[in-house]
């Protein structure tokens, strides 16, 4: 591969001045903004809508100062909620309660989104060979990371503005709004600094994403441990997630901790710049372990596809299992909070389901896991698109491997991944529930039945993802839009009071509410048939279209 313009001994003759290292940064910046415009717009809308729905729920359930103070004594005193959301110290307004309810969790979500953006625009471009083409022109070695840092900053600021400005109508003042803005913007920028470094250190975009996202999630868990366990408060000082909490909107409004996150961003940008000028293109310290030179175990395309995809599936399962453990750990506490609380009772009655709040909570969360399982199938289709764009699919199909075998092996793997994710989620919820003191046997039966019954809806989305790839690889990103739409029209539809016809568009709306309601086979069978129809339709198109 092409060597970097600058080696360890200093700049070469092609880069003589510091300014030349940033040549064409503006052009790359415009290119990245253009490529991210759709994802950024959707992300802003999703973040703001989730915050607005949370605010609406808070305003309706806790309209008075007395009720908000009661929430501080109930919700704020629960260890599980303190672990997930932090302490609830300020209840003067609905804005304060909204920030507590959605704040740190959404801040962590923004940080992960920023990580994906930075890696997508840096290491992913290098992995696909496009960065080398860009660098072959008149482009400075620091132009790509600099442009990615600016785009990540703009993205963080945009999300922060949306999440903070909407607090004005809820009773927030300027200092509090600025503190919330600082929480989102500076934590997102700190995540960008970490991702810029991992993009330089890791050899693949998958490893870079996994490493940077693990740093963010580890910070979230350390902060949660500090809030849930007495005497562990010092853990908040270790990560930007802890610093975001210590900014303390509606309380101290301490902006010094925002400066600490900005320092992480600056350090990350600086270190990434040093690494970018001293390493070879496509090189990285953290590289995937090479496989054996030959193997008798990869005797079919199905085994090869499975071997290549298992690390990706393992990442999905690992993240969802960790989340399932947290959700399961909370479930018994949710049930306890419902006792004697008329507002929670109203929520249960409005749902139309004859069940306690803990069971209803478990059913709702299993719907979210099903949406995540369908997103895995879209991720697999995205990988298929990458294989074809890299001309590897065309090479593989020049062998005796048939198109039918190639597509159906991927479709089977997508379906198997959906099943594996749902079963792993059920096991994690059961384990978390049992550790928190719940009934092991009851939790195992309920979570397993509710997980299994969600699989057909996720398989419908999986079939659509495979069909989109089969029709045209460029259509695969539409699958992400369909997953988001299914989420809002399905598990989240109750927040927006959507009409019935709109909710019926999501396959997750038609999933029977097992075990609180009897099993209904017709919608399940219809969804399984639809999954087969979409897959077969994709197969018929894939047999005839051009590859590459």
pLDDT tens figures, 502-530: 889 999 999 998 888 889 999 999 999 99
pLDDT digits (tens, 9 = 90+) for 457-478: 999 999 999 999 999 999 998 9
List the single range of 99-103, 219-223, 537-541 with lowest mean pLDDT.
99-103
pLDDT of the residue at 6: 41
Mean pLDDT of 376-393: 90
Provide the mean pLDDT of the chain: 86
Give the residue from 55, 48, 265, 262 showing the smallest Cα distance to 158. 48
pLDDT at 53 over 50: yes
Distant-in-sequence, close-in-space partners of 503: CB < 8 Å, separation ≥ 6: 489, 490, 493, 509
pLDDT at 429 over 70: yes
Residue % of the chain over a pLDDT of 90: 45
Instruction: Take residue 31 and report the two structure tokens written for it.
Output: 């290119």
> Taking a C-beta distance cutoff of 8 angstroms, is the pair 161, 285 a contact?
no
Write the CA distances from 416 to 155, 313, 376, 451, 545, integer angstroms: 35, 10, 11, 14, 26
Q: How confident is the model at residue 540 (pLDDT cuts 50, 70, 90)?
A: very high
pLDDT at 192 over 70: yes
Mean pLDDT of 303-312: 86
Residue % of the chain over a pLDDT of 70: 91
**Phi, psi (5° rounding) for residue 299?**
-90, 0
Domain ranges of the chain: 20-278, 315-544
pLDDT of the residue at 346: 60
Q: How confident is the model at residue 240 (pLDDT cuts 50, 70, 90)?
A: very high
- Cα distance between residue 314 and residue 184, in whole Å: 29
pLDDT of the residue at 341: 57
């Amino acid at each position: 591969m092409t060597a970097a313009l600058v080696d360890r001994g200093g700049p070469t003759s092609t880069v003589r001045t510091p300014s030349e290292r940033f040549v064409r940064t503006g052009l790359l910046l415009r290119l990245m903004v253009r490529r991210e415009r759709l994802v950024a717009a959707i992300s802003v809308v999703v973040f703001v809508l989730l915050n607005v729905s949370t605010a609406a729920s808070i305003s309706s359930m806790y309209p008075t100062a007395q009720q908000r103070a009661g929430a501080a004594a109930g919700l704020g005193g629960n260890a599980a909620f303190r672990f997930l959301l932090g302490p609830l110290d300020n209840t003067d307004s609905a804005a304060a309660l909204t920030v507590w309810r959605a704040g740190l969790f959404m801040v962590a979500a923004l940080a992960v989104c920023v990580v994906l953006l930075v890696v997508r625009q840096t290491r992913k471009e290098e992995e696909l060979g496009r960065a080398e083409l860009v660098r072959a022109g008149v482009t400075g070695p620091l132009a790509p990371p600099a442009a990615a840092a600016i785009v990540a900053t703009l993205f963080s600021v945009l999300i922060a503005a949306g999440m903070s400005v909407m607090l004005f109508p809820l009773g927030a003042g300027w200092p509090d709004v600025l503190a919330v803005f600082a929480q989102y913007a500076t934590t997102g920028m700190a995540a960008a600094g970490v991702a810029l470094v991992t993009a330089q250190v890791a050899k693949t975009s998958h490893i870079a994403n996994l490493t940077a996202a693990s740093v963010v999630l580890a910070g979230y868990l350390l902060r949660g441990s500090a809030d849930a366990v007495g005497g562990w408060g010092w853990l908040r000082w270790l990560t930007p997630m802890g610093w975001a909490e210590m900014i303390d909107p509606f309380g101290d409004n301490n902006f010094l901790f925002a400066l600490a996150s900005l320092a992480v961003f600056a350090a990350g940008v600086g270190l990434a710049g040093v690494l970018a000028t001293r390493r070879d293109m496509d090189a990285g310290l953290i590289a995937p372990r090479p496989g054996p030179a030959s193997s008798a175990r990869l005797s079919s395309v199905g085994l090869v596809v499975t071997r290549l995809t298992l690390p990706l599936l393992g990442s999905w399962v690992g993240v969802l299992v960790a989340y399932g453990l947290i959700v399961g750990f909370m479930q018994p506490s949710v049930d306890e909070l419902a006792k004697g609380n008329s507002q929670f009772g109203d929520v249960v009655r409005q749902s139309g389901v004859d069940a306690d709040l803990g069971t209803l909570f478990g059913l709702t969360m299993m719907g979210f896991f099903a949406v995540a399982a369908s997103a895995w199938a879209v991720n697999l289709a995205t990988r298929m698109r990458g294989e074809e764009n890299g001309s590897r699919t065309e090479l593989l199909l020049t062998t005796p491997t048939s198109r039918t075998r190639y597509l159906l092996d991927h479709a089977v793997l997508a379906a198997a991944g959906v099943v594996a994710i749902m079963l792993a989620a059920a096991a994690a919820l059961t384990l978390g529930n049992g550790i928190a003191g719940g009934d092991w046997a009851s939790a195992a039966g309920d979570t397993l039945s509710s997980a299994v019954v969600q699989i057909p809806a996720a398989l419908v989305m999986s079939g659509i993802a495979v069909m989109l790839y089969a029709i045209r690889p460029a259509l695969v990103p539409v699958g992400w839009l369909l997953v988001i739409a299914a989420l809002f029209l399905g598990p989240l539809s109750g927040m927006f009071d959507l009409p019935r016809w709109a909710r019926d568009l999501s396959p997750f709306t038609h999933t029977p509410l097992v075990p609180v309601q009897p099993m209904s086979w017709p919608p399940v069978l219809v969804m399984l048939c639809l999954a087969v129809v979409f897959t077969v339709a994709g197969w018929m198109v894939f047999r005839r279209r051009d590859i590459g």
